[in-house]
A and B are shown apart, each in its own frame.
Chain A
Amino acid sequence: MSAAPATASRAGLMGCHGCGLLLRRRHAKRGQSLRCPRCAAPVHDRKPESFQRTAALVFTAAVLYVPANLFPIMTVISFGKGRADTILTGIVHLAHTGMLSLALLVFFASVLVPVLKLVGISFLLWSIHRRWRWRPRDRTLLYRIIESVGRWSMIDIFMISILVALVKLGNVATIETGLGATCFAAVVVLTMFASMSFDPRLIWDAMEEEA
């Protein structure tokens, strides 16, 4: 690649976020909203307030991540004995029962993925804020990974719902879901919204500016 490729923004164009149709940039009149003629999506150059929205969502998720790990996600009471499990003790228990591969899977989904998302999105926001020109391609790849991997953190929430259904209905033991589960579910949903509201074009906008 000899010359840097032109960008839609520099050419006065923008790709519709809904269907990808290339549109000429126009300024909306007061009280008027621009819509894509093909898919009727609201049209904008960059995702609206991407930085602020993403930052707010990540911050909220980071705060909730603390109770999500400190409080038990569920308590199993059978034959008078109760055991409360947080996310981490649940994984340790799984590893002790001999299911090491499953324990690793849950560790990946419930610990590594949320941390990667919180740290990764914060890092991307910071790099945009400082207008870094460092490795934009790798930072875009990081974004792509964060975006695709986020849903897997729901494993623990689904596991709880199935345990609760089977055991509650079976009347053999009681399972109580803990505050940790609600906090953790909130972290998963918030970080998914955060990666959706993040606009990777912002990484590349800094490259357009004169050094």
Chain B
Amino acid sequence: MSATTPDPTAPLMACHECDALVRDRPLPPGGVARCPRCGGLLRRARQNSIERTLAFTLAGLILFTLANVYPFMTFQLEGREQVSNLVSGALVLWREGLPELGLLVFLTSIGFPALQIFGLLYVLVPLRLERRPARHFGPVFRMILAVGPWGMLEVYLLGVLVAIVKLSEMATLTPGVAFWSFCGLIVTATAANASLDPDVIWQKLERAR
């Protein structure tokens, strides 16, 4: 990386992991810039970042709605049947006197993913339509970025898998529409995150002002 001639006019950026000052050179599509000192990821060039993120987020909104409306899992034992929803686990924990656990499960499996979907739409739609940037753009977009690690859809899915195995010896479990929508939601949320390029969005905001 140090072999290429540095462009003295390129803007500087600071590595957020080791504070090294690095020239922000233009990247080829799909290119990755790493910090020469610590190896940290500086920037990853994404194509059509805003359009792709919007598309995946809209698809995610539909799947998220389905995942919350339809039954998640059907539990069958000796002729009796019980249907549970995505939110059931959190609700039962809350009612059973463990409100803090219930709240944590609710936030990480429903609340934060929802916040991310609606936040992204709120911020990206005006940007895409070349309208005036949304109010409180900065804090909202920072909130979206900060909430990222707390949305734990894929971890939740593994938890479901372990629960199914544990229960399979005593009952029959059938995944419902919500379960499959939830699996799809993991795909769209991951794709939205992978196509999101915060640098492009911050720069676009600066120009729009």
A interface, CB within 8 angstroms of B: 1, 4-9, 11, 13-15, 17-22, 36, 38-41, 78, 94, 97, 99, 102, 105-106, 109, 136-137, 140-141, 143-144, 150-152, 154-173, 177, 181-182, 185, 189, 192, 196, 200-201, 203-205
Complex partner residue of A39 from B20, B89, B141, B161, CB under 8 angstroms: B141
Q: B114 CB to closest chain A CB, in angstroms?
A: 17
Name B160's closest neighbour in chain A (CB-CB).
A162
B19 in contact with A39 (CB, 8 Å): no
Which one of B48-56, B62-70, B77-85 is at the interface? B77-85
Taking CB atoms, residues of chain A closer than 8 Å to B38 are 136-137, 140, 200, 204
The docked-state distance in angstroms from the alpha carbon of A188 to that of B16 is 24
Taking CB atoms, residues of chain A closer than 8 Å to B121 are none
A172 in contact with B36 (CB, 8 Å): no
B interface, CB within 8 angstroms of A: 2, 11-22, 36-40, 73, 75, 77-78, 80, 82, 84, 88-93, 96, 98, 100-102, 104-105, 108-109, 138-139, 141-142, 149-150, 152, 155-156, 158-163, 165-167, 169-171, 173, 198-199, 202, 205-206
The docked-state distance in angstroms from the alpha carbon of A140 to that of B41 is 12
Taking CB atoms, residues of chain B closer than 8 Å to A192 are 149-150
Known: A152-B155, A182-B101, A189-B104. A170 touches B138 (CB 8 A): no
A5 in contact with B20 (CB, 8 Å): yes
A39 in contact with B37 (CB, 8 Å): no
Complex partner residue of B158 from A1, A105, A203, A204, CB under 8 angstroms: A105
